[in-house]
Structure 1
Amino acid sequence: MKKTKKALAMLMAAAMAATVFTGCGKEEEQKGSQESASSKEEGDSSGKKELSMWFWGASDYQREAMDKYLIQAFNESQDEYELTVEYRASVDNDIAVALSGGEGPDIVYGSGPAFVAGYAAEGLFLNLDKYSEQYGWKERVLDPCYEICTIDGSLYSIPGALTSTGVFYNKKVLEDNGWEVPATYEQLVDIMEQAKEKGLYAGLTGAKDWRYTNEMYVGMMLTHVAGPEVMYKVLTGEQKWNSPEVAEAMNVLVDWYKNGYLAGDDYWNFDFNEAAMMLANEQSPFFYGALNVFQFIKNIATEEQCDNIGFFPLPNYDGSTDHRASLGSICSFSINSQCKNPDGAAMVLDYMLTSDFSAGMSSQWPGYWGMPLKDLTQIDMEQYQGIYKEYMKTCTDIVKSLDEGDFAYGAATCFPASTYEACIDIDTVWFGEATVEEYLDNMDKAFAEDVEKKSVATIPKPAF
């Protein structure tokens, strides 16, 4: 029993840490409250069996999209189950506490596949293999996105939307300064240096009150500097974290921080809303972030400003021209092992794994619902305009990269809990408190702990 409690305590800590990048961010979540939404009034007497899900404290337009395209749409699609979504500002922590007491919602929102492994090992999530076979999920979901949700070959969650850290850019800033969208790493760096000379920020982001922002850039550099083959070997235990290729990637990241490419001295002064506003206001050519940055831009920018925003993957450090993605899922959905109506919960998951659901949600809420489906590329892009179209186009590009095996690994999705926590400490290197070698030694120690706890998710193999 002591071992179980200790494991759950670790999971709770990891869950709290991951909240910001799976939702709108720490600041946005604090605005949420514990409210529930259903397509019917409370106390409905239709005789339907109840299904519950908790979600983070979304904004008004986000809740409207959830109500229209998930809650109402699912409830009206059949006459046996009634889905209710409860919005909670501290959803990750609330779920961890509830699960540890044998309670919680039927459908469990999570911060990504990497955090499912520990819960599944404790028997808190249902094995979804029979539902996957019943509904054909393996045939519909992109192979690496399906595989990262498995443990010892069995499925314990479905992936949420695609995510990959890359480069948001302001089209007008590039045009006004005679800059083309950079096709190589050298061109990107050259533009950033010119931007600094012109009094602009080289690039934008922000970690104000939330140092877990660091993980985005650790994952970005491991993907585009160390590369897929090296990171596959590292995450499967074949190669140490403290190895020359990984050290080179971290040294590049250290140089980026010191050269001011990550918002300069204001890295610790901006949050994502503030940084997104500055990109929209043409104060930098670039913003480095994951796909959920699209929702921050929608939150703060005018329609005209949104139309100026584009996205491209970070050019590879070695000059290779493949459009590499980081394998990432912005969240995950599982079924509580205590769920009284698991067949109904599986119907909800199946409903979410459709291009119609993804297309509808993304028409009102860009940045969060581009599901990792093989047929996502078949969605009619002409139904979208502006930032919505840019988001869906980006998702389809990532689908192609993942389908071709052209990927490495996002930290929040693919690093197990202790390893994820350790990767955040890259700022100790930035501040001169540790060397890259010491930082990577700590990563090796953390990864060994995760292996011992059996909390390492299945790592899909890229094409190399």
Structure 2
Amino acid sequence: MTMTKKVMGASALSILVAGAAWAEGPVSWWYETATPAQQDVVARNIVQPFQAANAGTTLNIEYRGAGLDNQIRIALLSGSGPDIVYTGGPSYVAPMARAGQLLALDSYAETYGWNDSILPVFLEMGRYDGALYALPKTYETLGLYYNKTLFETHGWQVPTTLEDLETVADAMLAEGIIPFASGNALWRPTNEHYVTIALNAVAGPENVYKALTGEIPWTAEPFVAAITRLNDWWQKGYFGPNYFSISGEQQVSMLAAGQAGMMPSGTWQFQHIPTYFPQNNAEAGFVGFPSAADVGEPVFPLGVGSTFSIASASRNPDGAAAVIDFIFSEDTYEAMNAEWQGEWNMPLSDLSGVELPPDVLPLYTTAMQNLAQSVSEDEYGYTTWTFLPPATVTYLVSGIEEVWVGQQTVEQFLTQLDTTFRQERDEGKVPATPAR
């Protein structure tokens, strides 16, 4: 497939894309934050291939930044907004579907064969009240990045248990090295990455599943132990002194430079590894985050970073479906992952025809293979931003900070979390939780 480079403005893009005759006309899509270089990747690998095939449909992509979620909510309430509804994950979908703001996609799934081409567990995540309302764009996981070169220099072993993790972290503190490269300066919900890790690594995914399905409360002892241990890490200084002023990309820079030794984070960070590690003559490593003895092997929490839906008020739903179908193709998967790893890992059921170029980080390929195997074997854990409803997530993000700074206890935090969750569960806002 031949593509020509197109230089785009940072705010919006409007060019012609392919579409069948019934899909002709404009299609609007609001996207989140993307650098000019990333916008160029989208233009060359998604938009222009449509233009080469058919000039009948106009795709308008607007880059809305970190405020996208609120902008989408406001627009849908007024019956306006984009044709393609791009959300931050399944937790946003259920309330929109319940409010009648999204189209059911079942007929499109049958027309385009999505029921066969997309992994079933991800289709289940996009369902509400028995109907399909969203396709997850990216599936991701959390794990433990580490500076392999730094570990070798100090003779440290990569931790395989929580006790090992704490031993290495304490050794780093003694050397003046921050154990966890971390921070939420540009994205406050980074807080829930660490809560997710604690819930799965300490309480275990079986208990998280029981809480999500209402079998046990979030105040149960395993969750008290999990949040207590997370808070202990904070109080010991594992997260460093400048957590609230460090961004996600700065975390990778700190890790590569040896200012920090480890980084609990998600697979979206793979896109920054080639930028920072070579210039520091360092090598990165990535493993599953160590788990408690009664949990067993390191757990890969399953997350969905964003979803595609179609607004019920869309003026061109068929065109929107055609765009979404193109995105969920082997060609798009191959093209996007060749240039932008960690953000376009679409859950296609068959990737046998996909070939990524040799310069794609092998560490990324291995991590995605491990996650895919975990999903296929039902051995995955649960990310909070994928499986908790929106108000519960909002409270979690602010509430854990109050625990860290001593404004409330672990028990108070979990009590409010449980109260908020039960209320949203009664209101039908909890995302679908696939059976284990």
Give the TM-score of the pair, scaled to structure 1. 0.85
Alignment of 1:399-418 (within 5 A): 399-418=372-391
Q: 1:147 aligns to what?
A: 124
Q: How far did residue 126 of structure 1 move?
A: 0.5
1:396 to 2:373 alignment: no
Q: 1:52 aligns to what?
A: 28
Match of 1:161 among 138, 157, 161: 138
Per-residue CA shift, 1:117-143, capped at 9, x if unaligned? 111111111001111122222322223
Give identity over the alignment, percent. 33
Per-residue CA shift, 1:248-291, capped at 9, x if unaligned? 111111111112222x2222232222222111212222111122
Per-residue CA shift, 1:309-349, capped at 9, x if unaligned? 23221011126553422121111110011112222211221
Tell me which amino acid in the other structure corresponds to 1:410: T
Q: How far did residue 455 of structure 1 move?
A: 1.0
Tell me which amino acid in the other structure corresponds to 2:396: C
Tell me which amino acid in the other structure corresponds to 1:458: A
Q: Structure 2 vs 1, CA of residues 309 and 398 (structure 1 numbering), >3 Å: closer, same or farther?
A: same
Tell me which amino acid in the other structure corresponds to 1:193: D
Q: Using the alignment, how far apart are the partners of 1:378 and 1:255 within structure 2?
A: 47
Match of 1:456 among 414, 425, 430: 430
Decide whether the 8 Å contact of 1:206 with 1:213 is kept in 2.
yes
Q: How far did residue 296 of structure 1 move?
A: 4.2
Q: Structure 2 vs 1, CA of residues 140 and 226 (structure 1 numbering), >3 Å: closer, same or farther?
A: farther
1:205 to 2:182 alignment: yes
Of stretches 371-380 and 191-200 in structure 1, the one that deviates more from structure 2 is 371-380
Decide whether the 8 Å contact of 1:52 with 1:105 is kept in 2.
yes
Q: Using the alignment, how far apart are the partners of 2:187 and 2:331 within structure 1?
A: 35
Give the TM-score of the pair, scaled to structure 2. 0.90
Q: 1:66 aligns to what?
A: 42
Q: Using the alignment, how far apart are the partners of 1:272 and 1:306 within structure 2?
A: 21
SS of residue paired to 2:139: coil
Gaps of 5+ in 2: 1-8, 18-22
1:375 to 2:350 alignment: yes
1:310 to 2:285 alignment: yes
Per-residue CA shift, 1:330-371, capped at 9, x if unaligned? 111100111122222112212222233122112111221111
Match of 2:326 among 340, 348, 351: 351
CA RMSD of superposed structures (Å)? 2.2
1:419 to 2:392 alignment: yes
Match of 2:406 among 432, 437, 449: 432
Q: Using the alignment, how far apart are the partners of 1:306 and 1:136 within structure 2?
A: 46
Q: How far did residue 236 of structure 1 move?
A: 1.2
Q: Using the alignment, how far apart are the partners of 2:385 and 2:370 within structure 1?
A: 21
Q: How far did residue 91 of structure 1 move?
A: 2.3
Decide whether the 8 Å contact of 1:362 with 1:392 is kept in 2.
no
SS of residue paired to 1:329: strand
Decide whether the 8 Å contact of 1:322 with 1:406 is kept in 2.
no
Q: 2:421 aligns to what?
A: 447
Decide whether the 8 Å contact of 2:192 with 2:385 is kept in 1.
yes
Q: 1:342 aligns to what?
A: 317
Decide whether the 8 Å contact of 2:341 with 2:364 is kept in 1.
yes
Q: 1:179 aligns to what?
A: 156
Decide whether the 8 Å contact of 1:74 with 1:83 is kept in 2.
no
SS of residue paired to 2:180: coil
Alignment of 1:79-228 (within 5 A): 80-89=56-65, 90-208=67-185, 210-228=187-205
Gaps of 5+ in 1: 1-31, 41-46
Q: How far did residue 306 of structure 1 move?
A: 8.9
Q: Using the alignment, how far apart are the partners of 2:124 and 2:200 within structure 1?
A: 19
Alignment size in residue pairs? 421
Tell me which amino acid in the other structure corresponds to 1:347: A
Match of 1:365 among 324, 340, 346: 340
Q: Using the alignment, how far apart are the partners of 2:282 and 2:242 within structure 1?
A: 26
